[in-house]
Structure 1
Amino acid sequence: MLSGDKEFCMTRFRSVLTVVSILSSLIATTAPAAPPESLPASAYTHPQELVVVAPGRRLNVYCLGEGSPTVLFDAGLGDGTMGWRAVQGEIAKTTRACTYDRANYFFSDTVDRRATAQAAVEDMLALIDHAKLGDRVILVGHSRGGLNVRLFTYEHANRVAGLVLVDPTVTEKLSSAATAYYVHKYENYLARGQQLENCWHAAQQHALQPEGADSLKCLDDFGAQQDPNERVLAHTIRTMETQPAYQATLFSERQNLFYPIDNDGDSIDGRSIALAEHSLGDLPLVVISADWFKSITFKGTPTVEQREFLSWNSEQMRHIADESTRGQFIKVPSRHYVQKERPDVVIGAIEHLIHLCRVPAYP
């Protein structure tokens, strides 16, 4: 293993042709590979390690495996450690792999603040230091978590060994001048925002119940679970989702991602990204874009608006991949949760970056 920031992860592509070939074959595969074994349900029914990130406040962290660099996962909107259940165990066979719950989610402590990407970055930095995850880590982010780890990388590039973005959220200027289908998108945005706000108010009134009807659609739907351990897990997760802090944070995270705060249509998080964005040099980077309409689970015919959005979204992700001279862009047939539908692709991308970080620099 190399030591020192200047040497860490400076391998060149010609020294890793075998890994690149394997990754390329994963990209080209349209049928899912045999799914990896998911981590046991019991891992998610209690806190794992509560790490202090601020006076009187802790985040729940779940680490497996040994080795360097550590891979730190950040999940999507409303998700936590369980969002990486099909991936973390496989990565832990190769190196240390850690997931965590953001503030106010699941087993992490509560805090009264806006749930912005900047707040997540500050917690992530404290977590890396206080949990002793290493001088530089590989960050993996899905959806909202993808935007969080992008902002972290722009602001703390010296702490990042590599970056994998799994169908990351890309903010769009929500204004009549800049947004295609503005009226329709804005109406849909308001409707979804109102639904999440209703869930928050219902939680405040203790009107959400983990069992029985969920008329407001506020809680995760796990369906009928035959395995008793999975039933316990479903009840545990849904119980925590009934809490006001969880629902308030879910609403806040979405508002800060999409709600326009100026005449240009920028959101709080969109503005943070725009101000921080810069070239990532030769940072090892993989961006995975979900091709929703080619997924085996997609039913029906996509509308023109949906097709245009997916095309725009993919182009934004290509732009992110181009920010590094070693950026790679993967478009995979899958719905948004690629780590669940195509965990093989996500695992392959992470293992590719681990290899890049471990091969000595080519002279």
Structure 2
Amino acid sequence: MKPRLVFASAVAAGIAVAAGVAHRLRSVPDWPEPPGDVTTVRGESLHHLSSAEGAGPTVVFESALSCPCTEWAWVIRELDGHLPYLAYDRPGNGWSSAHNPPRTAAEHAELLHDLLVARGLPGPYVLVGHSVGGLLVRVFADRYPGDVAGLVLVDSSHPDQLERSALQREGMPLVQQSIWTTYWRSRLGLPRPDDGFGALSDLPEELVDPSMRVMRRPEPWKAAGREFADWYTRWNDETRATTLGPELPVAVVTAGAQSSMDGAHARMQEELAQLTTVGHHDVVVGAQHDALVMRPEPAARITRAVDWVVRRHHATARQFSGRKG
């Protein structure tokens, strides 16, 4: 998620600290009640929204940078009761702890795999990744190829985007500055009650307040800063080294507003749809990067992409069964 850009001058920050940091630390919002469940894996308390109902394959969601797993609520509503699913908060994000968080994409894949096993959600998995989550699901698919039924890449990051897109490259320092500014404002209790974060206000009504409140805490922004550095120094290289099976279904859903502003982004999204011989590309005209997931109308296109991957998976499974027979 591209965080709202908030700036404080050095003088104002100094005055705030001198005026009483201890008082402001006490004003950090309390943790809101988690809307899902929490499972301990490798010493981390991982928050997740999950269901084992449905015939499978299991749909697994990787969120964007700093986004809580509630960002997937509209897609999950359509899947609920039909397909098993799991959307989770990576360590430090949302309601999850961060005692010893993974740093490499491979370590994230291993932690996620252990969580799926702990929840009794067997493969095969349809992996759905938004933004940097798209890099992580590609690494998971490379690490556990026998467990993966297909991918849905939602306005996904491309490992070469900083080299090929001047717009994104020039904007990265501002995004990094915004993350840490928001962290310190949260740490000092400075955000106003009406501060918004991306399109979270467009989530289902019962999830807006807890999602907003958790994003007013400093922990998700600290995690975002850590993941931003890992994305830049580790995840891109790890993703470049991945290999996907040539017949693995890959559906790409692109935010039209982003691709219309940045031709390089549009071309890289097309490339993602050609990672295998079984690709599908849907450009959602006018959709923004965050709203693509968090507003019901564009999110329905993600659900359709999941359905497409599931159908292709079942068709392949029937063909394989027929050849064996």
Normalised TM-score (structure 1): 0.69
CA contact (8 A) 1:73 1:98 kept: yes
Rounded Cα–Cα distance in structure 2 between residues aligned with 1:191 and 1:126? 35
Equivalent residue number for residue 289 of structure 1 = 254
Quick one: distance in 2 between partners of 1:293 and 1:187?
15
Unaligned 5+ runs, structure 1 = 1-43, 259-266, 295-301
- Which protein has greater RCO, CA pairs closer than 8 Å, 6+ apart? 1
CA RMSD of aligned residues (A): 2.9
1:123-164 CA-partner distances (Å, limit 9, x unpaired): 211112211211321111111211211111122211111111
**Correspondence 1:150-229 to 2 at 5 A:** 150-172=138-160, 174=162, 178-179=163-164, 181=166, 186-204=169-187, 206-209=188-191, 211=193, 214=195, 219=197
The amino acid of 1:198's aligned partner reads: T
Aligned residue for 1:242? 216
Q: Is the 8 A contact 2:124 2:148 kept in 1?
A: yes
- SS of equivalent residue, structure 2 residue 318: coil
Residue in 1 that maps onto 2:318: 361
CA 1:284/1:187 → structure 2, altered by over 3 Å: closer, same or farther? closer
Q: Percent identity?
A: 21
1:97-108 matches, within 5 Å, as: 97-108=85-96
Matched, 1:313 2:265: yes
Per the alignment, do residues 319 and 188 of structure 1 end up closer, same or farther by CA in structure 2, a change over 3 Å counting?
closer
Question: Is the aligned partner of 1:274 residue 2:240?
Answer: yes
8 A Cα contact 2:141 2:244, kept in partner: no
Which stretches in structure 2 are left out of the alignment for 5+ residues? 1-31
Q: Please list the CA deviations of residues 9-67 of structure 1 after superposition, one character each: whole Å capped at 9, or x if unmatched.
A: xxxxxxxxxxxxxxxxxxxxxxxxxxxxxxxxxxx95242222220x322112123322
Aligned counterparts of 2:47 and 2:168: Cα–Cα separation in 1:
35
Amino acid at match of 1:145: G
- Residue in structure 2 matching 1:63, options 50, 54, 71: 50
After superposition, the C-alpha distances for 1:285-314 in whole angstroms (9 at most, x for unaligned) are: 2112222169xxxxxxx7xxx3xx3x2223
Q: C-alpha offsets along residues 304-325 of structure 1, whole Å, 9 cap, x if unaligned?
A: xx3xx3x222322332322222
1-structure distance, mates of 2:104, 2:54: 31
Q: Tell me the residue number matched to 1:32.
A: none
Taking a change above 3 Å as real, the CA distance of residues 248 and 115 of structure 1, as seen in their structure-2 partners, is farther
Provide the TM-score with structure 2 as the length reference.
Answer: 0.76
Distance 1:312 1:121, change over 3 A: same
Q: Where does structure 1 differ by over 6 angstroms across 4 or more consecutive aligned residues? A: none
Question: Residue 298 of structure 1 aligns with which residue?
Answer: none
Alpha-carbon contact 1:141-1:168 (below 8 Å) kept: yes
Q: For this pair of structures, how many residues does the alignment match?
A: 283
